[in-house]
A and B are shown apart, each in its own frame.
Chain A
Amino acid sequence: MSTPARIEPGPNASLDSVVIRFAGDSGDGMQLIGNQFTRTTALAGNDLATFPDFPAEIRAPAGTRAGVSGFQLQFANHDIFTPGDIADVLVAMNPAALVANLNRLKDGGLIIVNTDSFGKRDLKLANLEVSPLDDGTLDEYRVVQVGITKLTKETVEPLGLTTKEADRCKNFFALGMTYWLYSRNMEPTKQWVTGKFKGKFAEANIAALQAGWSFADTVEIFGGQPYMVPRADDFKEGEYRNIMGNAAMAVGLAAAANKADRLLFYGTYPITPASDILHALAPFKNYGVVTYQAEDEIAAVCASIGASWGGSIGVTGTSGPGVSLKAEAMGLANIIEVPLIVVNVQRGGPSTGLPTKTEQSDLMQALYGRNGDSPMPVLAPQTPADCFDVAVEAVRIAIKYMTPVMILSDGYIANGAEPWLLPDLDALPEMKPNFAKAEEGVEFQPYSRDEETLARPWAIPGTPGLEHRIGGLEKQHLTGHVSYDPANHQFMQELRQEKVRRIQADIPETEVFGDEGGVCVLGWGSTYGAIRTAVVGAREAGVKVGHVHLRWINPLPKDLGEVLKRFDKVLIPELNLGQLIKLIRAEYLIDAVPLAKVQGQPFQTNEIRDRIIEFSKEA
């Protein structure tokens, strides 16, 4: 645990960074106010990172610990990489939310608690005998007790809402208090409410927001003056928006298809935590985006392959269980060699596992989870906004090398958000497909090869003179006819493998952050922020340590082995029981050491930092 940092009130005290956690019942609208706080804070120019943490049940029994929904946000006046290990402030709407989140609050942290939900029944639902407000549990914290429910009801009373409607406004009251506490501008939220809700209910929510703000201002519950978190000035010049990982993925896919001048076909079946990609793409009908909600995961990937065969950019999005179902079709995409993107927004496994929780445990599945040797390029985004770049990169490689590509996102970055510097669209890589055309007097060979990339031609139906047949049976080199010839099979297997290896020529060399000796912390995907923060911390503590983060896992960057060998030892933190590490050991014969976490939660930076410090001292 990190050092307790007591927030002391002071006149317009300026803070460098704050971690705030909203927690309540699933039905209390915590994700909603979390997102509003995020949006307002993004507009205020702070750097930020968010972590929504909610149960798989839409409405678990109200008031129980199982039903607690949380939203954590770190915002700062400087560059940050994670939503923070533990919170400075906890907003708790009921006893279950309070006790379930205390271990995520700093010693001496601030608790804003809704005392109206601490009746006998509420306590019982939270499995509590005595109210934690009374039994000394909160002695180590600064507690602000507010009857949020009653105050909200009184506020909206003149509007004549039903009791249920009035009750639903209480999250905005809580939001109003936090807006006051951190000197946030209420206007963006007011405008959002007006656009989102209608009539009296919109008015009521705005009134509750305003009332929460005024209450905090008047009653001086926080000691008089609000805090400031000045805007971050290390942002690069340009236009920004706040973006979640799944949204960035959707925009990236659409942008890439647009750049390639092809339709984007997104075939999918709803699955947590990937569905938001579908929701984000579905309205883009005027951008050449076709979304297709198929009857199942298999149909989703197969329809996408069908679309790719026809010359579109076929993409299928899912999570681990869905990838299991798509395995056979991915093998088909491998042997017929058409572009296909498979987005796996990973969650806790195996089986149904932990649908709303994050994990990186589908790496082996991505690399090897198909029958036969079936090499598939695999890459992983590092932050929510990075999903955009990864999507563009995946489409570029899929077209250029005529191959299926797997993107390994996960629940943590899919639902997390950060400010995003809008990309220079002209600077996006060229990716116009070069469709095959018939040549007079030349017999078309659907399995001929580009000398450099080994890609076969993309010959789409409707092209005169190129009629040919493809399929899942082994292909004869060049002609593409069905072939059972043993030597041809070996040749084709090696060729498909070599084609994926050649992508190495197209991807950046390994970058090292920090020291080029001592300990190397090697990661991939969404652990980027936690590892980077930990490495910074460990270097401050005097450890010689560098950070290497992989975007491409298949193929690995061609200089990776050589880079890793510059270090004395290698630590590989992963949110699985040790998957990348097996690959690294096998590829480079390096005796790397794992740091495995599979709790459905992202790494906390201190977990990694402490392990780095300890590891650096081991013989």
Chain B
Amino acid sequence: MTAAPTYKKKDFMSDQVVRWCPGCGDYSILSQVQTTFAGLGVLRENFAVISGIGCSSRFPYYMETYGFHTIHGRAPTFASGLKATRPDLSVWVISGDGDMLSIGGNHIIHALRRNFDINVLLFNNQIYGLTKGQYSPTSEVGKKTKSTPYGSIDEPFNPITLALGAGGTFIARSLDVHAKHLQSMLVASHDHKGTGLVEIYQNCNIFNDGAFDTFRGKAEREENALFLENGQPMIFGKTTKMGLVLDHTTMKVVEIGDEYGEEDCVVHDEGNFIQAQLLAQLKAPDFPVPLGIIYRCERPTYEQSFQDQVSEARAKLGNGVLAELVKGGDTWRVEG
């Protein structure tokens, strides 16, 4: 392996004009990805950025890497075929809530269970942007949009629960504008051997402005977001220090003080599947919004398991010889 040169963020900026709406959360995400890539120690030519269709999926055009803007909902499938044959590449899937959870719903669940060592960034703005403002599979019930003038009646997906159910091995959540946190999640996903899913709450200032306002800005997130740290108690809030305790089988918000101390709070354990399920259920305004690595476990990657089978076959049968392949089993000779 050639050591990667020291890159700067600008080494990952392509010459294409970025054409998202001014004020879109995508700008920040792009910036954090470019900054992160520069520091991963991966050769630039070994990055492959693959997207589907939608606002977020224009992403590859703005990255000075190998990029592939594919078709609606299918980005994880292209990534799977690429990674299966090119395990040497660092593969990044860029997708939105409509692309990944609606038309591409089937592919994300299968990508997660197969556990290719790829990274999936889910830009969740809870709306369809590129088609100009219809509700999405993560829009809340009752949401009034162009296609739901009386309010949406669909129960939304919870992407974290979905990913847990699909057998995801790295499931994290972050915010478009929280540069430091997002970068740390991208690095952690990269370091994880397996499919890393990072749900990024992303504000669409045109069609769904303010969807995450209660915990997105610096002041708000200090109050209402729960920043998960493995091995640390679940504590949040700046003006009043709050914590989460277990009440039978559910979480309960308590004030840290006389009745409850930090030691009473649930300690985050990334490997605890049940706890991850509980965290996935926490929603504003009754609960803080959990950000960080919600669940992480180790499981063989698809490409590794496949390579193991190839090695076993080669050990047992040797390297295949074309003449033998063509012969198959029984043959007979016709003499001239």
> Which residue on A lies nearest to B309, using beta carbons?
A285
Q: Provide the residues of chain B in CB contact with A243, threshold 8 Å.
A: 328
Closest-CB distance, A259 to chain B (whole angstroms): 8
B65, B74, B314: which has the most chain A beta carbons within 10 Å? B74
Task: Assess whether A286 is in contact with B46, with CB atoms less than 8 Å apart.
Answer: no
**Stretch of B198-206, B278-286, B289-297, B317-325 at the chain-chain interface:** B317-325
Closest-CB distance, A331 to chain B (whole angstroms): 8
Task: Assess whether B82 is in contact with A473, with CB atoms less than 8 Å apart.
Answer: no
Using A467-B44, A469-B68 as known contacts, say yes or no to A241 and B81 having CB atoms under 8 A apart.
Answer: no
Using A472-B69, A472-B70 as known contacts, say yes or no to A303 and B326 having CB atoms under 8 A apart.
Answer: no
> Which residue on B lies nearest to A301, using beta carbons?
B77
Task: Assess whether B81 is in contact with A267, with CB atoms less than 8 Å apart.
Answer: yes
How many Å lie between the Cα of A342 and that of B2 in the bound state? 37
Total residues of chain A contacting the partner, CB 8 A: 70
Task: Assess whether B326 is in contact with A287, with CB atoms less than 8 Å apart.
Answer: no
> Which residue on B lies nearest to A233, using beta carbons?
B334
Q: Provide the residues of chain A in CB contact with B47, threshold 8 Å.
A: 461
Task: Assess whether A251 is in contact with B71, with CB atoms less than 8 Å apart.
Answer: no
Task: Assess whether B85 is in contact with A290, with CB atoms less than 8 Å apart.
Answer: yes
Q: Provide the residues of chain B in CB contact with A482, threshold 8 Å.
A: 16, 61
How many Å lie between the Cα of A309 and that of B46 in the bound state? 13
Q: Would you call B218 an interface residue if the criterion is a C-beta within 8 Å of the partner chain's C-beta atoms? A: no
Task: Assess whether A469 is in contact with B78, with CB atoms less than 8 Å apart.
Answer: no
> Which residue on A lies nearest to B64, using beta carbons?
A467
| CB-contacts of A359-407 with B (<8 A) | none
Q: Would you call A310 an interface residue if the criterion is a C-beta within 8 Å of the partner chain's C-beta atoms? A: yes
How many Å lie between the Cα of A463 and that of B310 in the bound state? 25
A-B contact count (CB 8 A): 200
Closest-CB distance, B29 to chain A (whole angstroms): 17
Q: Mark B66-105, 1 if CB is under 8 A from A, else 0.
A: 1111111010011111101110110000000000000000
Q: Would you call B55 an interface residue if the criterion is a C-beta within 8 Å of the partner chain's C-beta atoms? A: no
Task: Assess whether A461 is in contact with B86, with CB atoms less than 8 Å apart.
Answer: yes
Q: Provide the residues of chain A in CB contact with B213, threshold 8 Å.
A: none
Q: Provide the residues of chain A in CB contact with B45, threshold 8 Å.
A: 461-467
Q: Would you call A596 an interface residue if the criterion is a C-beta within 8 Å of the partner chain's C-beta atoms? A: no
How many Å lie between the Cα of A42 and that of B331 in the bound state? 9
Q: Would you call B43 an interface residue if the criterion is a C-beta within 8 Å of the partner chain's C-beta atoms? A: yes
Q: Mark A277-316, 1 if CB is under 8 A from B, else 0.
A: 0000001111110101011101100111111111110100
Closest-CB distance, B95 to chain A (whole angstroms): 13
Q: Provide the residues of chain A in CB contact with B336, threshold 8 Å.
A: 237
Q: Would you call A468 an interface residue if the criterion is a C-beta within 8 Å of the partner chain's C-beta atoms? A: yes
| CB-contacts of B51-71 with A (<8 A) | 53, 60-61, 63-71
Closest-CB distance, A35 to chain B (whole angstroms): 12
> Which residue on A lies nearest to B51, using beta carbons?
A471
Known: A241-B331, A290-B85, A307-B84. 16 other contacts (CB 8 A): A236-B334, A240-B332, A241-B327, A243-B328, A296-B106, A299-B80, A305-B78, A310-B86, A329-B74, A461-B47, A462-B45, A468-B67, A469-B14, A469-B63, A469-B67, A470-B69
Instruction: Give me the interface of A with B, judged by CB distance under 8 Å.
Output: 39, 42-43, 45, 188, 235-243, 247, 251, 254-255, 258-259, 263, 265, 267, 283-288, 290, 292, 294-296, 298-299, 302-312, 314, 328-329, 332, 336, 422-423, 425, 461-473, 481-482
Q: Give 26 pairs: A residue, B residue, CB < 8 Å, sorted on A.
A: A240-B333, A241-B331, A265-B84, A285-B309, A290-B306, A294-B77, A295-B107, A302-B78, A303-B84, A304-B81, A305-B78, A307-B84, A310-B48, A310-B81, A310-B82, A310-B89, A332-B71, A422-B327, A425-B322, A461-B47, A461-B86, A461-B89, A464-B44, A469-B61, A470-B69, A472-B70
